[in-house]
Amino acid sequence: MATIGGSNVLGKGHSYGLTAIYALPPAGNWAHSLSAGVDFKDFDESMEFGDERDEVPLKYAPLTFGYSGFRFSERSEFSLGLSLVAGTRSFFGYGSDENEFRYKRYQANPSFAVLKGDTQYTLTFADDWKSATTFGFQLASGPLVSNEQFSAGGATSVRGYLAAEATGDDGYLISQELRTPSLGKYVGDYVSDWRLYAFVDGAQLFLQDEMPEQEADFSLASIGVGTRAIFNDWVSGSVDWALPLLDGPNTSKHDSRVHFSVQANF
């Protein structure tokens, strides 16, 4: 559920995609690739305005063109991802018309373009201390339906806030972590890596062509500490304690929150 300007968006949907990836010849330590794909998205949602509720089904098939690269050295790792998402008015007859888009979001259009980017840089210092920087952004050609908006908040974004607490057509996100040397060697061979860290997260999001009296600028920021461990190279988990520094749409500043996650790779 997302709450924007006094309205709630509820619903479910599905998406099917097809992507082709072409690996470019490596350039020294730089490995990179190009990709192109299409996603068929079908969402069956309801809009709530106070006590009123209306069905807003929407389907469309955006094209995505991407570039990704990765460089590594003895003491650093750097990754870059860029993508251009182009909305199609009708992909071989598949897709909602302009009126349906505008009914779901004021001034939204099935023919849209979104430029997205993300980068990560990890630097290893003496004695295995690490600094990790993450940056991501989105620039849109105009107002977007909620499914295509940039979101911030949650365990993988600005910690201390609810998942996707703030959304916007344009936005950026930055995160900085300082990680201790690995403590796994003090526990046992089954712990591949275990580190403590301190972090600072921040994001700013903007709405285009907002409705009257609708907030169009959202800023989130938090600080905190956490720990992350990898067990036997296939199970990982993390615990973060975060303190929001700014009021969010649903979170008050200084109202701390704990995030917990477990992942397994097969």
- Select from 258, 162, 246, 242 the least CA-distant residue to 200: 242
Task: Supply the pLDDT for residue 89.
Answer: 80
pLDDT in tens, 96-126: 889 999 988 999 999 999 999 999 999 999 9
Task: Supply the pLDDT for residue 24.
Answer: 98
In Å, what is the CA distance from 34 to each residue of 37, 66, 86? Answer: 11, 6, 16
- Predicted confidence (pLDDT) at residue 198 exceeds the cutoff of 90: yes
Task: Supply the pLDDT for residue 60.
Answer: 94
Looking up tokens 């993508």 gives 83
Q: Which fold has domain 2-264?
A: Porin (2.40.160)
Task: Supply the pLDDT for residue 1.
Answer: 36
Domain ranges of the chain: 2-264
Residues across the chain: 266
User: Across residues 22-33, what is the average pLDDT?
Assistant: 96
- Predicted confidence (pLDDT) at residue 139 exceeds the cutoff of 50: yes
- Predicted confidence (pLDDT) at residue 91 exceeds the cutoff of 90: no
Q: What is the dihedral of CA 89, 94, 98, 100, to 10 degrees?
A: -150
- Predicted confidence (pLDDT) at residue 2 exceeds the cutoff of 60: no
Task: Supply the pLDDT for residue 264.
Answer: 94
Task: Supply the pLDDT for residue 49.
Answer: 59
Classify strands 235-244 and 257-264 as parallel, antiparallel or unpaired: antiparallel
Task: Supply the pLDDT for residue 50.
Answer: 60
- Select from 94, 88, 8 the least CA-distant residue to 47: 8
Scored b (16 or more CB within 10 A) or e, 144-154 reads bbbbbbbbbbb
> In whole angstroms, what is the distance from residue 36 CA to residue 22 CA?
9
User: Across residues 186-206, what is the average pLDDT?
Assistant: 96
Task: Supply the pLDDT for residue 132.
Answer: 99
- Predicted confidence (pLDDT) at residue 17 exceeds the cutoff of 50: yes
Task: Supply the pLDDT for residue 90.
Answer: 76
User: Across residues 246-266, what is the average pLDDT?
Assistant: 96
User: Across residues 54-65, what is the average pLDDT?
Assistant: 89
H/E element holding 98? helix 98-104
User: Across residues 256-262, what is the average pLDDT?
Assistant: 97
pLDDT in tens, 3-12: 333 445 555 7
Kindly state the tokens that stand for 183. Answer: 């403590």
User: Across residues 56-83, what is the average pLDDT?
Assistant: 95
- Predicted confidence (pLDDT) at residue 157 exceeds the cutoff of 60: yes
DSSP state of 212: T
Residue percentage of the chain with pLDDT more than 90: 78
Least confident span in 9-18, 52-61, 101-110, 212-221? 9-18
User: Across residues 193-200, what is the average pLDDT?
Assistant: 98
User: Across residues 17-36, what is the average pLDDT?
Assistant: 97
